[in-house]
Chain A
Amino acid sequence: MTTPDLLTCEQTFARLDDYLDRELSAEEQEAVQRHLETCDVCTAEYRFEGSLLDELERKVRSLRPPSGLKARIAARLAAARDGNGSDEGP
């Protein structure tokens, strides 16, 4: 994909998710950054989407396994290894 010198708002928005995820080429990443430096509307959208992603990641990754999960899985694996017929699973 060729990157024009200065992106329009529409072109910037089309790249916003990839920009937030750092999945653009270095050239495109810089082009989006240049647009954001000159456009308050796109910058507000970018900040909103960025903080939404950050907060969602924080909440999603705070889930912890219940105590005993590892032991229960180890027990099922041990039963399977011993050929326990009751452990055929659903």
Chain B
Amino acid sequence: MSDDGSTSPSGDDFEALLEPLLSPAYGYACHLAGDRGEAEDLLQEAALAAFRGFRSFRPGSNFKAWFYRILTNCFYARHRRRQRRPVTVELEDAPDLFLFQRTAELGLHGSDDDPARRLLRKLSQWQILAAFAALPADFRVVASLYFVDDLKYDEIADVLHLPLGTVRSRLHRGRKMLQKTLWNVAVEAGVASAPGAAGGVAP
């Protein structure tokens, strides 16, 4: 409580609010950065920026959305500076049911085992991160919030200050693109065969 009687957040308040978020925020940062070391740097940068700007946080409002927004802004700032991975146009036309079709072509749909699980279980966490990292930034952000933290569409819209329809559209398109990047990663890793090649999902 400040001298004028209003409630003013303190550093202790900040750390108490931040601590339970660190684990999911780290997962979110990993999928944005595509790399564990860079994710830790990103999370530390966001924690420091949030700490310095904590006076602008309204007590009682959604701290998680506020902090994730800062983390997302830090990611965009880094991404703009680096632009290491240019957006690949081929992802924009990822067809519907891309992995469903690819796994069907490999004859995986007749077996008892679930073809989607069978493919994904062959991929390491690093390879999954690589598939996320191959998404254009706007789609990576929305897909990461959705998958890492189970946020609903309206919660993602709150974090990103975007209209609900934009979140819905980016998530739907991002998921389609992700199917293609997952497949590309699987083929590159030799976990699945490219179309026309012999074999299927590696045992």
Chain A interface residues (CB < 8 Å from chain B): 13, 17-18, 21, 23, 44-45, 47-49, 51-52, 54-57, 59-66, 69-70, 72-74, 76-77, 80-81, 87, 89-90
Contact = CB atoms under 8 A, between A and B. Distances in A.
B48 A45 contact: no
Contacts of B90: none
B117 A55 contact: yes
SS class, residues of chain A in contact with chain B: helix
Most buried by A among B14, B45, B114, B178: B114
A62 B125 contact: yes
Contacts of B152: 21, 23
B158 interface: no
Most buried by B among A13, A21, A65, A87: A65
B57 interface: no
A45 to B, nearest CB: 6
A72 B172 contact: no
A51 B11 contact: no
Contacts, number: 101
B103 to A, nearest CB: 8
Contact of A48 (B40, B100, B147): B100
Contacts of B148: 60-61
Nearest to B132: A60
A65 B47 CA distance: 15
Contacts of A80: 48, 51-52
A59 B125 contact: yes
SS class, residues of chain B in contact with chain A: helix
Interface residues on B, range: 35 or more
Given A45-B97, A81-B11, A61 B27 contact: yes
B125 A63 contact: yes
Interface string B164-194: 0000100110010011000000000000000
A61 B149 CA distance: 8
Given A61-B27, A80-B51, A90-B45, A56 B128 contact: yes
Interface string B1-37: 0000000000100110011001100110011000010
Contact of B23 (A18, A47, A65): A65
Contact of A63 (B26, B45, B171, B179): B26
